[in-house]
Chain A
């Protein structure tokens, strides 16, 4: 399945921090940790956005990738592909590639549409429509 558009949501995880021996994070135990509340709220907002995009578009139209900043490196190949496909200004592309933005960050087809806070779904729809239904 090749989707027309990509939405990459970069947000922190409320369970993946730290490691135990050779396994990462606190897992389900993290739910008990009160100091994760800020991160958890932000993750909840990202979840809301994820659901809204998914409700509106099918998987064949939009691929949504939600990832933690520490695993960002694994999404770089995909990002490079997007940046090359939807060519934008060099400096802005470079900043996107290096994730030189505050998280949570939302990247649509290589273009950052939300930084430091989760944007409303309308902002994304506008950007997505350009590639899904051009003209």
Chain B
């Protein structure tokens, strides 16, 4: 039986609309009891700069742009090893029952806490200990996330002169844009962005000539060298002034993101590709070559961001709650933005599963392992010839996603001869995002390290203190760089998924505590059920990762340190989540009898005003 994309796309949209209309409306009305007569922080803390009321749709756009990144694109591609159905169902069920609820409830909690961050809410709602642990967890999670995404770029660029040239060009282009809009023609952001986009497209276009020129060997680099360059990039970028690299790069990726996602959605609807991957593969029971483990629990950590993402809690308790003008707006912004992110994850899954299974595995698995699978390629040689690069063994998900996207784009009228350009455009699009993540993530982690170090040596916390900035940046870059150097996508991505999902679990713990303290314990199941599921699957996956993957690694000659480091990182994140869970349960058991006796806790209600 053949599966086409359209029924899946339409089915997903229908499920999302139905859940939004009924389940999410129920949560907004009965659990949160959104009240437009209450003043939001945009009014109570109004300053016109950080806190100000904003039009619902404008804020929706801002929030959606902030939560959409590279995460939902890569995870579904890797989870395609289990077939179309597991990933599809998890994204769909996960996003409506867990992800959207998670984003909404944290957004709502932050609004009721005056726009405070997740760690601050944890500190207020649970305990100062949970607040500190949430901050530690975020630091560890950042390192693993940077490694996971960094590895995807490294594998996509290895031995690809075209890719390296194009991505390499983004750095001088960003420098040029930065100087243009902050020095030469101050404030001319649109001008600089238009020039930047044109230069970027030219870099993709001329990359082909570079690949066929005597310069090609200079841009054809092995993984180790690319890792080193990305590590140096992360280190330098996190110290440079933001206007020189981060801001211009951000303008480039923001506009590219919207355009490419809209184009991909339109492409899938017009082309309606046939999905070559079966509904489920033999790897659902384990033994998969990409993600080592069975469907349960590994699907649920491989696809993180598209179904539920702990990182969204940082946005939902960041700028958006400071700008929402009415509580009822949280319903549209919190739920719908996440539902669209889930929809994007489904598009990525469709793009990957439109490849023949043999081709998909040949791209995502190292050559020697692929030979043991008993699969044969169908179109891979043709695809390799079309994109002008060897596609075998290009693990990490980014390459298969780029091939899948390019296949869809070239099926559009008049595009059939442009496979190589679309493929490299897709690679550039993914890498652009990920490098922005590396810059921002390294910088944020640096601030956290400096803040921590400042407790022991005061000048260390001063962010303008160059030696401190250099030391902390080097520390963070080396931490995530170590994972990229030593790991593979099979070891790093599950760690990244575990970290992201445990952060979501922590956020749901905070959300549950908030609901109980609001006096609505009877509805706390809306967050307890997803929290229990996310915690159970993720802790199981983390445990299996340690026992089945990392412990055996410690016994392998030359891999012992790597095995132990992976174990320590995973264990720290697990411990953080478990401590917050236990601390939350302690608070719930105290709050529940009080609520039964006295009804909703008036003092807490007042605290939420």
Q: Which residues of A contact B500 (CB under 8 A)?
A: 21
Q: Which residues of A contact B60 (CB under 8 A)?
A: 74
Chain B CB within 10 A, most for which of A20, A32, A59 = A20
Q: Is there contact, CB below 8 Å, between A36 and B242?
A: yes
Q: Which one of B49, B55, B193, B255 contacts A47 once the chains associate, using CB atoms below 8 Å?
A: B49
Expressed in whole angstroms, the Cα–Cα distance for A36 and B246 within the complex equals 11
Q: Which residues of A contact B182 (CB under 8 A)?
A: 38
* Residues 19 to 75 of chain A near chain B (Cβ within 8 Å): 19-29, 32-36, 38-39, 43-44, 46-51, 54, 59, 63-75
B375 vs chain A, min Cβ distance (A): 31
Expressed in whole angstroms, the Cα–Cα distance for A59 and B55 within the complex equals 11
* Residues 101 to 120 of chain A near chain B (Cβ within 8 Å): 101-105, 115-116
Task: Flag whether A78 is at the interface (Cβ < 8 A).
Answer: yes
Expressed in whole angstroms, the Cα–Cα distance for A48 and B292 within the complex equals 56
B321 vs chain A, min Cβ distance (A): 11
Task: Flag whether A17 is at the interface (Cβ < 8 A).
Answer: yes
Q: Is there contact, CB below 8 Å, between B242 and A35?
A: yes
Q: Which residues of A contact B124 (CB under 8 A)?
A: none
Task: Flag whether B62 is at the interface (Cβ < 8 A).
Answer: yes
Q: Which residues of A contact B314 (CB under 8 A)?
A: 20, 23, 27
CB pairs A–B below 8 angstroms (23 shown): A12-B189, A13-B319, A17-B242, A17-B246, A18-B246, A19-B436, A20-B69, A21-B71, A22-B309, A22-B341, A23-B67, A23-B69, A25-B315, A25-B440, A28-B117, A29-B443, A33-B443, A33-B447, A36-B242, A65-B58, A67-B54, A105-B187, A116-B187
Q: Which residues of B contact A (CB under 8 A)?
A: 46-50, 52-55, 57-58, 60-62, 65-72, 117, 142, 145, 149, 182, 185-191, 193, 240-244, 246-247, 249-251, 253-255, 258, 305, 309, 311-312, 314-315, 318-319, 341, 433, 436-437, 439-441, 443-444, 447-448, 463-464, 500
Q: Which residues of A contact B (CB under 8 A)?
A: 12-13, 15-29, 32-36, 38-39, 43-44, 46-51, 54, 59, 63-75, 77-78, 98-105, 115-116
Q: Which 6 pairs, one residue from A and one from B, show the smallest C-beta to C-beta distance?
A: A74-B61, A102-B187, A47-B49, A18-B440, A24-B66, A50-B48
Kindly list 6 other residue pairs between chains A and B, CB separation below 8 angstroms, not including A19-B433, A22-B67, A102-B187: A28-B318, A32-B463, A50-B49, A68-B62, A69-B189, A101-B190
